[in-house]
Chain A
Amino acid sequence: MKEHFLWALSCSVDIPDVSVCALLDQLISLFCFYNGPVRQSYLRHNRSDLARHWARYLTHLQGGSSELHHIFSCLRTIDSTNIDPLLLLKAALILQACQRCPLVLAGCILYRGRVVSTQMPPDLTVKVMVHETESYQQQDPRPVANGMNGVSGTPSSSTGATPVFLTPAELQALRCHPVDKKCRSHCAPQPPPRPRKSRLLSRTLSDTPPDELDIVNLDPAPTPSSCRSSLSDESCYSACLSSEATTPQLSPVHQSEISCPADAKSYDHGLSNGISACKLKEEVVMGKVANGCNKKMDIRTSQSETEARDAFILPNGNGCHANGHHLDQPGATDCLSDQSSCDEQSDSSCRRSLSNGAETPRKAVLPENGEMKRTKTSIGTGHVGDSEMPTHTKNGCRNGTEGLEERETKENGTGRRQDEREESSSPSSSSEEEALVPMALYQHRVRALVLALLVEPHFHTDQAAVEEVYHSSMASLNGLEAHLRTSTPGGPGPHGPYTFAHYDCIQNTLTSNLSGAPQERSFVRATALLHSNFSQTQTLQEAIVRNAGAAVYATRSTAQETYFLQHATAVRNSGIPNHQDSAFSLPSKARHRLLKHGVNLL
């Protein structure tokens, strides 16, 4: 039972229970990654389509890789011993270059379904790879699976994007990523000049976290909610304010849609909005300080409400999918960033929701919310309202003067949310299920090489950002592809009179010289047993097991697990303890032999 659904997965008996559970979890999270919360996707899409998706994810999880990959459920990477390390470095640099764009969270480079370089945590890379593998198999430069849209008007046809959904934990992990912001701001290619005030607008929360969250990084367990709630409002907003005040030359790269006719209008909005937002924030902070309340944000609620809003918008989305505007209804964490994109919105759904917000602010406050702390969502709503609606601006002003904005914005928020709840046809579901944050997956393909980037949802509406990323990476990608094509013979590593598997627990990668021959079965079996033993006994460091035919040596540290089997030592012995037994010389042999595979056991 998970999220009100009953899940069942059947496997052959050989697979240990733990692995089955892990596989099921992986499958579910994969589905959620591409389709969003399960319940909502079933409301939105037709069952047979989703069944196809499930089947696809399942085949992806099962297929392709060797049994060893299943045992560790790890990534398949390029064999780094075979290619020039400089190429790996180059790949890493490309990714870093892309990250200069503040809308890009993290990325990875894949070649022929294998990872060359990744910035994402392993489980996320796996999810990204599903899509890549699929499109690679289709040999289609513009894969259209899963409601995916090629970005029209972009200079190349080999890019694309698809909406994806991240759990707050994943998002948090990405945002906590210690990206050097200074590097971002200084090294970024010069953006087109922008009016100063719109820059303020374009400062998003997603930009600021690298700074703010440095503090959080010290937190030993930065789970999304704890992280968020440990961040007091003050730090958030003051950082916002200070960055607005002190770093005016920050690159406002994601001000979007240069060619948009509503450009000028958006600037105007930006102006007034910037001020009011600013003021609002200040007042918020003051109000809070005055209250002396130590505010704990109920991020869960806010996220689920965001999701509810999402759910409401998506089904009625009026082409939301096509122009990606629904993605502008963001997760709680980037609400503040909404304005810039909302500014340009002439989308009716957005309007409607906003007008809902505007019309219902004085509806009864939910009683249980009476003492509830204001959440970012409600602030965000307030902003949007301010910027869009004259009445709202007035509202905000009045609030400001009366020092009651907190309550009012809350009213706005709750009222609006209430409305959405009412309108939403989906039954209330668990917060876990809805706590997914919509993002987008950007892909740039050069033959078999793919650059996949996780980007903010409104990335591809932001022409400048798209172009920046595209141009900054295209040349290097082409070069990298050419190098990889020539330097990857594709065969497994050098064979010796031994079999080994080296699992990197941190990067979740596996190096091995397995060829898939049937006599390797015993090695795989022993590895499976030893691996489950390792996972059961935390203190276990190394082990040797032997039967009549083979002896396998296994060793592990916190970062890696290594398994080693020496061939052609079928010297018949009795199984009685004997220190001359060849099985016990395995550790030294393994140390010796694996050095040339780049595995250091010393």
Chain B
Amino acid sequence: MKCLLVTSESAEVLFYWTDPEFQLRVQEQYGAAREDGEAAPAFEDSLNTLFAPIIISCSTLVDRLGDSYTSFSTENKDTYVLHQFEECLYIAVNGDGEEDEDDLKRRIYVMKKMTDVLFGMVTLSSDLLKKELRPQDSEQRRALWRHLQGLLETYSRLREQDQSFLVEAVERLIHPTLCEQCIEFLERRLVAQLNSSTERQGEEVQHAFILVHTKLLAFYSSRNASTLSSSDLLTLMGMVLHLHPSSPDIDESSPEDVRDTTAGSDVFYTPEASPTHHHTESSRIETEAAPIFQFVDPDIQMAEDSLQTLQSCRPDPAQPIRVFLESTLKEGFYPMMPHSMYTLPLWPGITLVLLTKIPNSHVAMSIYHFLETVAKLEKRLNEGPEGAVSHRGHTPIQELRSKMDKFLRSLANTHIQTSQLQKVWAEFKARAFSRGGLSKELVPDCRRLRNALCVIFRQCFFLPENSSTHRLSPTLQERARTMVQDKLVDWKDFLLVKSKRNITMVSYLEEFPGLVHFIYVDRAAGQMIAPSLSMADRASAELGKGPLALYIKSKVWSLVGTARRYLQKGYTTVTQRDGDYYYCYFLWFENETGYKLEVVDIPTLPDDSAPIGMLAWDYYRKLLRYYSKSHSGEVVKCYELLTVHLGVIPSDYVLQHCSQLARKLWEPSRIPLL
């Protein structure tokens, strides 16, 4: 009973995602009313009818009070969480009590993060984003929504199953020798070779990493590249896992078996027809997965079918995915720089990912710069007294003028259509540089200018369909793939098993009797270490199968939620005796050499603040920045440790364990990622 809806202020559905139960409920509610033989209303219309009162009341409240509600729950225990980003209203609903407000809020922010990564600076213009999220062409719309829905589903599944997505930090395969070898291989052989190839058409590989299921085997960034933020890396991992669905439960068996179960597992996790689906492996899986729609509603089935045909008419599997990532360059911080992502599946469950910088990315920098300047100007025009505006705003305006003129001249030589921007810019100049131009009346012009800039951005960086320019050639991609395959072929089976049992509790039991589970997170690096908690049927986790293992898992999940709630209110240490278990949570700061820094009072956040984590809104980066203020000149690291002990262990021992564990785990996290 879950739903996520994105609407405009005029209650137009920009995007929706529902699980089958919610869909069924809505259809029963609105489909049953029509007994006169009329066809049931389209699902989208039903959703619209259902949510219209909420959307209208929300926008009325904003109109009247300048404020709105962020969440409410109905008498039959449905929970609604609402959040408005610019002009788009996001509504998340849960009707089965499985998720609380925090989870719903998190889903909204994850959705926002995904649109940011997929649409880049277009998200800065609400008008454009609305068009982008709801393409006029219904086929296109269906395809896009299907894609986003799949991403959300993948995210939900990962959050429910995978500890790394639970705590929102990257989990690495712990095998130092192999990791090191792979990193070296990526650096010396793969990236070097790709970047020196003539077939790369101007693209430059900046990051390369190998994923084994949800775990990172090796990650390499070229020297001149900006670091990839944990938030982006997690989002990209989610996208890769969505494109190449692989359940970690499938690999204990023979390869034939693997294929069967892959198809089987798709039944539950909605197979994704995606642009890159037509590699040899996955297309076969797709055909095998035909019966998966058996318990899906006929309407959806139709949609899926048409999606399939749509997908199959996109013949280019080598087409990369355009993603917009944070970059910290020497010129400054740019939140949404265009990159191309190539996902090359090596074997089911193991994927090589290449991130390339595209040749004209400097244009994006300019556009971002203009957008920022105009947005600042607009804000000041809206706030400040007019006189002050004209004085203070003078210099940036002049600078904007010269830079924009130059920018337009430089674009004139390319194939980019700049007529709209030129027109808007001319109007803007005419008004802004006339007498008394810098007044509130300029605000609509600012808006138009921003829109025009976003249009240019879209033109430059959105991948046109079936375009073969600006990308690594298919042969080059194939070569990269075989190179890595050759390198890892002997390790393949080991890796698949290892990814499932990365760390086992057995190795800790002797040293820490009574310890049931732990999660250790290095927030500065965005990495985590935890014993595997596999709940799959075939996997014989140490906790065994059945209720006890499930109980521990559910407790770990709820403990993470509890710890976050306390952290939100400024508490960095929490211990709880709950039933037969003893839970601990610690957050602390260290400097680079491992010296423990003293605690400070960390800020208390209001209840409606963004969710704590790294994926959607990087709380820990802000926390580190906050802490660094009082420790200038020092590199500050932040760590978290969660433990579950048996309740019979005296708390003295528990705490001793915790401190020993923190010391012990500190070492593996030193393995260089780059």
Interface set of A (CB-CB < 8 Å, partner B): 1, 13, 17, 525-526, 529, 533, 537, 539-549, 551, 572-579, 581, 583-584, 587
Q: Is the CB of A539 within 8 A of B655?
A: no
Bound-state Cα–Cα, A581 to B573, Å: 11
Other A-B pairs, 14, CB within 8 Å; known A537-B578, A541-B577, A547-B599: A17-B73, A543-B577, A544-B575, A548-B599, A574-B596, A574-B597, A574-B598, A575-B589, A576-B662, A577-B641, A577-B659, A579-B652, A579-B659, A583-B573
List 10 A–B pairs whose Cβ atoms lie within 8 Å, in order of A's numbering: A537-B578, A543-B575, A547-B602, A574-B588, A574-B598, A575-B572, A575-B587, A576-B588, A581-B655, A587-B651
Instruction: For B567, give the chain A residue with the smallest CB separation.
Output: A547
Q: Is the CB of B659 within 8 A of A543?
A: no
> Contact check: which of B570, B607, B655 meets A547 at CB < 8 Å?
B570
> Contact check: which of A546, A548, A574, A584 meets B651 at CB < 8 Å?
A584
Bound-state Cα–Cα, A578 to B656, Å: 7
Instruction: For A572, give the chain B residue with the smallest CB separation.
Output: B598
Bound-state Cα–Cα, A541 to B573, Å: 17
> Contact check: which of B565, B574, B576, B655 meets A578 at CB < 8 Å?
B655
Contact residues in B for A1 (Cβ distance below 8 Å): 75
Q: Is the CB of A577 within 8 A of B658?
A: yes
Instruction: For A587, give the chain B residue with the smallest CB separation.
Output: B651
Q: Is the CB of B577 within 8 A of A540?
A: yes
Distance in Å from the Cβ of B583 to the closest Cβ of chain A? 9
**Chain B contacts with A in 576-610, Cβ cutoff 8 A:** 576-579, 584, 586-590, 596-602, 606-608
Bound-state Cα–Cα, A537 to B562, Å: 10
Contact residues in B for A526 (Cβ distance below 8 Å): 571
Q: How large is the interface on B (under 10, 10 to 19, 20 to 34, 35 or more residues)?
A: 35 or more
Contact residues in B for A573 (Cβ distance below 8 Å): 598-599
Given A540-B578, A575-B588, A584-B575, A529-B566 contact (CB < 8 Å): yes
Q: Is B569 an interface residue (CB 8 A)?
A: yes
Given A544-B575, A574-B588, A575-B586, A13-B606 contact (CB < 8 Å): yes
Q: Is the CB of B659 within 8 A of A575?
A: no
Instruction: For A532, give the chain B residue with the smallest CB separation.
Output: B565
Q: Is the CB of B596 within 8 A of A576?
A: yes
Q: Is the CB of B655 within 8 A of A577?
A: yes
Bound-state Cα–Cα, A99 to B241, Å: 72
Distance in Å from the Cβ of A9 to the closest Cβ of chain B? 13
Distance in Å from the Cβ of A557 to the closest Cβ of chain B? 12
Distance in Å from the Cβ of A455 to the closest Cβ of chain B? 37
Interface flags for B598-626 (1: CB within 8 Å of A; 0: not) read 11111000111000000000000000000
Instruction: For B71, give the chain A residue with the smallest CB separation.
Output: A17
Q: Is the CB of B607 within 8 A of A13?
A: yes
Contact residues in B for A542 (Cβ distance below 8 Å): 576-577
Bound-state Cα–Cα, A551 to B602, Å: 14
Contact residues in A for B574 (Cβ distance below 8 Å): 543-545
Bound-state Cα–Cα, A543 to B606, Å: 23
Contact residues in B for A533 (Cβ distance below 8 Å): 562, 565
Q: Is the CB of B607 within 8 A of A576?
A: no
Bound-state Cα–Cα, A149 to B665, Å: 75
Bound-state Cα–Cα, A541 to B577, Å: 5
Bound-state Cα–Cα, A583 to B584, Å: 13
Q: Is the CB of A546 within 8 A of B571?
A: yes
Interface set of B (CB-CB < 8 Å, partner A): 73, 75, 558, 562, 565-566, 569-579, 584, 586-590, 596-602, 606-608, 639, 641, 651-652, 655-656, 658-659, 661-662
Contact residues in A for B656 (Cβ distance below 8 Å): 579
Contact residues in A for B75 (Cβ distance below 8 Å): 1
Distance in Å from the Cβ of A300 to the closest Cβ of chain B? 21
Interface centre among A1, A542, A545 (most CB of B within 10 A): A545
Distance in Å from the Cβ of A121 to the closest Cβ of chain B? 26
Bound-state Cα–Cα, A241 to B590, Å: 82
Contact residues in B for A575 (Cβ distance below 8 Å): 572-573, 586-589, 596, 598-599
Distance in Å from the Cβ of B107 to the closest Cβ of chain A? 20
Bound-state Cα–Cα, A572 to B599, Å: 7
Distance in Å from the Cβ of B556 to the closest Cβ of chain A? 14
Q: Is the CB of B578 within 8 A of A539?
A: yes
Distance in Å from the Cβ of A577 to the closest Cβ of chain B? 3
Bound-state Cα–Cα, A533 to B578, Å: 11
Q: Is the CB of A549 within 8 A of B652?
A: no
Given A540-B577, A540-B578, A583-B573, A576-B659 contact (CB < 8 Å): yes
Distance in Å from the Cβ of A507 to the closest Cβ of chain B? 25
Distance in Å from the Cβ of A373 to the closest Cβ of chain B? 32
Contact residues in A for B641 (Cβ distance below 8 Å): 577
Instruction: For B600, give the chain A residue with the smallest CB separation.
Output: A548
Contact residues in A for B601 (Cβ distance below 8 Å): 547-549
Bound-state Cα–Cα, A141 to B598, Å: 61
Bound-state Cα–Cα, A548 to B572, Å: 8
Q: Is the CB of A547 within 8 A of B572?
A: yes
Contact residues in B for A576 (Cβ distance below 8 Å): 586, 588, 590, 596, 639, 659, 662
Instruction: For A551, give the chain B residue with the smallest CB separation.
Output: B573
**When A and B form their complex, which 5 residue pairs have the shortest distance between CB atoms, in order from nearest?**
A577-B658, A574-B596, A579-B655, A575-B588, A539-B579
Distance in Å from the Cβ of A541 to the closest Cβ of chain B? 5
Contact residues in B for A572 (Cβ distance below 8 Å): 598-599
Bound-state Cα–Cα, A543 to B652, Å: 14
Contact residues in B for A551 (Cβ distance below 8 Å): 573
Bound-state Cα–Cα, A577 to B571, Å: 14
Interface centre among A13, A17, A529 (most CB of B within 10 A): A529
Instruction: For B575, give the chain A residue with the smallest CB separation.
Output: A544
> Contact check: which of A525, A540, A577, A584 meets B662 at CB < 8 Å?
A577
Contact residues in B for A583 (Cβ distance below 8 Å): 573
Distance in Å from the Cβ of A582 to the closest Cβ of chain B? 12
Bound-state Cα–Cα, A525 to B565, Å: 13
Interface centre among B576, B579, B598, B607 (most CB of A within 10 A): B576
Contact residues in A for B596 (Cβ distance below 8 Å): 574-576
Distance in Å from the Cβ of A528 to the closest Cβ of chain B? 9
Q: Is the CB of A577 within 8 A of B578?
A: no
Distance in Å from the Cβ of B565 to the closest Cβ of chain A? 7
Contact residues in B for A529 (Cβ distance below 8 Å): 565-566, 569, 571
Contact residues in A for B651 (Cβ distance below 8 Å): 584, 587
Bound-state Cα–Cα, A541 to B655, Å: 18
Bound-state Cα–Cα, A587 to B575, Å: 12
Bound-state Cα–Cα, A578 to B588, Å: 11
Bound-state Cα–Cα, A331 to B402, Å: 87
Q: Is the CB of A574 within 8 A of B659?
A: no
Bound-state Cα–Cα, A173 to B349, Å: 63
Distance in Å from the Cβ of B632 to the closest Cβ of chain A? 19
Distance in Å from the Cβ of A571 to the closest Cβ of chain B? 10
> Contact check: which of B575, B598, B599, B608 meets A13 at CB < 8 Å?
B608
Distance in Å from the Cβ of B568 to the closest Cβ of chain A? 10
Distance in Å from the Cβ of B77 to the closest Cβ of chain A? 13
Distance in Å from the Cβ of B67 to the closest Cβ of chain A? 12
Instruction: For B659, give the chain A residue with the smallest CB separation.
Output: A577
Bound-state Cα–Cα, A298 to B600, Å: 63
Bound-state Cα–Cα, A3 to B57, Å: 24
Instruction: For B652, give the chain A residue with the smallest CB separation.
Output: A579
Bound-state Cα–Cα, A549 to B598, Å: 11
Bound-state Cα–Cα, A578 to B663, Å: 11
Q: Is the CB of A577 within 8 A of B576?
A: no
